[in-house]
Amino acid sequence: MEDVVSSHRQILEFQLAAGLDLPLEDVPVDRFAVSAEAIAKAEAARPPPPERRNESRVATAPTAVPAPLAPDAAIMEARRLAASAPDLETLRRLLEDFDGCTLKSTASRLVFADGRPGAPIMIVGEAPGRDEDEIGKPFVGRAGQLLDKMLTSIGLSRDDVYIANTVPWRPPGNRTPTPQEIAILLPFITRQIELSGPKVLLTMGAPATQTLLNQKEGILRLRGRWFEYAMGGRKIPALATLHPAYLLRQPSQKALAWRDLRALRAKLHEA
């Protein structure tokens, strides 16, 4: 009897070593089929995943990004838009929607104008700085405060003038606008001057003077000189002077600016 038990034990040990850990039955059982059936039942009992509506459509739908205009095309479009503006408010909206100049993408906001539209004097500077970019008005920083004092010295205030820039968006780092940027935006500032209709134009600094009055000399040679500016079908007197930002760096030149402003005031009475 002990020999039989020992023999069965050896058989069981062999079967365990061979990986047979389930008892054998009289009828063969397909364990793979049992496993597949159990998996199918588990999958059937699992709740369906939440419906994801339009997910594939959102993931695959391309985002339409308009291609930037080439410089020549941007200039032509600027001319077309500016010429179509019947008033300053429309011009502002058209300029705000204009995507032909890359400065728009780096600036915080459009800096269109300040003062009184239609005033007898229009002042044009170069481009907005950091303070102007934050507030949305030209000449509001230290240079703007000096401009206010300069106007006060000849009995004027911002309500007596209309102020704008040749470039309405701040260049990164307050750098000088490139010739290409100025050329693209030139139709807007010329139309702005025409729609405002000043009696006298005052250009501040070399960029504004050279751009609007078609001059190449430096501002120290141009300042204090009178030019004619073609505005629509007529010409108006235009005076070049020093930019307030330059005067902050070179306060010894303020006397020249005061002289220019007195000449401006005298010309205004003649116009």
Kindly give the residue spans of alpha helices, DSSP state H, lying in the chain: 2-17, 31-45, 55-60, 71-84, 88-97, 103-106, 130-135, 142-152, 179-196, 206-213, 219-222, 244-249, 254-270
* 234 within 8 A of 271, measured Cβ to Cβ: no
Confidence of residue 268 (pLDDT cuts 50, 70, 90): confident
Q: Are 185 and 82 in contact (CB under 8 A)?
A: no
Is the pLDDT at 36 greater than 70, yes or no?
Answer: no
Mean pLDDT of 77-86: 98
pTM: 0.75
Look at residue 269 in the predicted model and tell me its pLDDT. Answer: 83
- Whether 160 and 59 have beta carbons less than 8 Å apart is answered as no
Q: How many CB atoms lie within 10 A of CB 51?
A: 6
Closest CA to 181 of 163, 169, 164: 169
Check residues 154 and 271 and name the one with the higher pLDDT.
154
d(CA 168, CA 137): 9
Q: What is the pLDDT of residue 69?
A: 82
pLDDT at 31 over 90: no
pLDDT in tens, 189-232: 999 999 999 999 999 999 999 999 999 999 999 999 999 999 98
pLDDT at 116 > cutoff 60: yes
pLDDT band, residue 51 (cuts 50/70/90): low
Residues paired with 120 in a beta bridge: none
Q: What is the rounded distance in angstroms from the CA atom of residue 194 to the CA atom of residue 75?
A: 18
Per residue, the 3-state secondary structure of 90-119, as one string, reads HHHHHHHHCCCCCHHHHCCCCCCCEECCCC
Q: 37 vs 88, which has greater pLDDT?
A: 88
**Between 3.90.1150.10, 2.102.10.10, 3.40.50.1820, 3.40.470.10, what CATH number should domain 88-270 receive?**
3.40.470.10
- Stretch 88-107: mean pLDDT: 97
Question: Is residue 10 pLDDT above 90, yes or no?
Answer: no
Q: What angle do CA 49, 52, 56 make, to 5 degrees?
A: 125
Residue 61 has pLDDT above 90, yes or no: no
pLDDT over 90 (residue 54): no
How confident is the model over 224-258, as pLDDT tens digits?
999 999 998 899 999 999 999 999 999 999 999 99
* Digit-coded pLDDT (tens) for 150-176: 999 999 999 999 999 999 999 999 999
Mean pLDDT of 118-144: 96
Confidence of residue 57 (pLDDT cuts 50, 70, 90): very low
